[in-house]
Chain A
Amino acid sequence: MQTIKNILRNINQNRIFLIMVLPGALWFLFFSYLPMFGTVIAFKDYRFSRDGFLASLQQSEWVGFKNFEYLFSTNDAYVITRNTIVYNVVFIVLGLIFAVGMAIILSEIVNKRLAKVYQTGMFLPYFLSWVIVGYFTFSFLSVDKGVMNQLLTWMGKDPVSWYADTTYWPYILVFLNMWKGIGYSSVVYLAAIVGIDKTYYEAAMIDGANKWQQIRNITLPFITPLITILTLLAIGRIFYADFGLFYQIPRDSGPLYAVTNVIDTYVYRGLKATGEISMSTAAGLYQSLVGFVLVMTSNWVVRKFNKDNALF
């Protein structure tokens, strides 16, 4: 009885906050949590029933973890897991450095109008789909008509068969990912830097701090919470790869699979003929679970250092 009373009192005390979260919470309920029941598909051999989706779910046979097996069954499993993780780690680290760096640079540039022009420019790649970006990379890397090979020949070097040679692809993919994403991700940091109280810098200048010291002692500490959160969230997606980047850009070229095959492309190729939704759901669940475990661990570590910076 006492506890119920307590809860009611708590609810009453928090009612203004509860009202604030209500629309969002309802949204999560309908668009995220209600569909989540569908995840059981991953453990079933999904067949269609005449009586609609729920009946199909019910009547399909339980198969345990069978739908997950293909993710682990072959040597490819190692390759795709390694590629996915390594690329994502590189993307997270470099993305962080470049995005923060670019945000600081943009915030420091004296001519604000120019800075805005640059910023707008950097945003444009975000609008081009990977398919379109793929056309461009191809016009650069095509064996006979590509700009790169014409350049190499002109310099007296041998042309490279770009779409058959794995050597350069890790760099190409990382470069393109940075190129496409920096404009977008630096905006968040820029907005945070812009929000820093100017009096801090004024005080620092009076103390004779140089630019570097100002960045290190004011700007960076100020945006650390944001960096932490964004990194934590990125870690949660570490098992998800950007399908377009790894499929469209290398033109699905077989000889490059060793460095371009990631979980998402593997699942796509494996299931495109059969369209097994049980197996694709299983893959998604697996990717989420790993991400979840990693975030929870990292979050726990973050909490040890600074409770305020943690996700929860």
Chain B
Amino acid sequence: MALPGESAAEAAAVLASSLESVLGSRANANRAFEILERLQAEDEEVILCAVRTCSRLFGALLERGELFVGQLPDEEASLQEGYSAEDKYKVWMRHRYNSCINCLVELMSHESFQVQELVLSTLMKFVDLEAKHPLMKAEWKGKICFPRELLKLVVASLIPVEADSSLLISQFQQYLEYDDVRFFAMKAVADNIGHVMQRMKEAPPPVYQQNVFSLISSISVPSRESEIANFLVKQAGNYEEWKVSKLKEHRLAFERMWLGFLKHKLPSSLYRKVLVILHDSILPHMNEPTLLIDFLTAAYDIGGAISLLALNGLFILIHQHNLEYPDFYKKLYSLIDPSIFHVKYRARFFSLADLFLSSSHLPAYLVAAFIKRLSRLALTAPPQALLMVIPFLCNLLRRHPACKVLVHRPSGPADLLEDPYVMDAEEPSESRALESSLWELQTLQNHYYPDVAKAAAAINQSLSLLEDDITELLDLSASELFDKELKKKTPTVPLEFEQVRGLFGQKNDIFAEHFLLE
């Protein structure tokens, strides 16, 4: 029997001997309790050893077919009913198997990652064996049985409500290669979300959502039906008729899973993560991408970086799925604020904005408002952003010749008291941008960085017909800029000729007035 003070070596010896005796003869079946007891031990080593023994024991039993197949009768009932001794043994053993699995599922939340990892692989081994030697009676001939219930337990334990389990999930990913495992896992996740949300009543814990996200973001549906051929289940049966081999079913499960996940309120960091992968790895795999409209429009209305990110998915819906989005450009216009030149998603936003503003059917006032707003905000931008936005504006001017009045107004009013452009107007049509001129770019001609000044000076001449290519400039970083400057070669280095008199000793030195040399 398992004693509290038992050492790991002793436990290992006991476990080995009981495994041998249980497998050796049915008379010693009771020794299985010794193994199961040790699953609840305190010592990590003992647990590990017990898990391994369980895996070997029930693995062997499953392979031998010594577990009861079919609807499992109650343990007490089976003893009284008229079962043969053989059946009684099998029922009893099956009950031990079930309690073992329950123990293992509980161990999935053990604090040691080593235990978790081993338990996960053991459970998946059982899934594998059960798929080969099903414990359910086939209802009709050719029906393929998959241990759905067991997988459901595994998935549920993979996404705990309290603890972060991203490491375990990354271990689980190898099993997602199998199309059937993936399919049933998706279904299990969808069910699990439903249950948990119901239980939690509108306040899902962020950790849980994080776990779910890390699990489901790693799931990707194959793009063609012919690719679905990698099954864990190896049974004689009609695979073609099987639900799992239908791409449509996969997509449906995928869609249900994601919609179930996105239905609930997400923390903003998760929001961003979802939006970053949305257009690339979620939208294309859905049966009905339009179902995401609500989610995307809600995200677009949030503002800030989340709106910027929602733009991409929204664009796909508008472009490929006939989404009618009223005030799209107004919204886009309001998205442009000073932070746009400083955020991480700058390149993404500008490549999309470039796309949105490339249509020649846009009214001139709209484009002019965009140009004017961007140029106004360029007054606060760092040089690497300026190097990108100035050619961007020039391209807009080229595409929409009606906007060229912004840089070339030969017969305008000679003297203006102020800029007619209204920065605060929500509506681009009320901004009076077409009456204005791009004084901002003229200002930037005095920028301290020579390349920016040069780029801004482009508006002094009439613009060339060919558009500038801005794709390379989109994600220019400050350090790249710096390195570029350092690499430039010059034959001579001009020097300061003013005689030096000390650290703060130059003519009209600002420092001398505010700092002390101490």
Q: Do A and B bind each other?
A: no
Using a CB–CB cutoff of 8 Å, the interface residues on chain A facing chain B are none
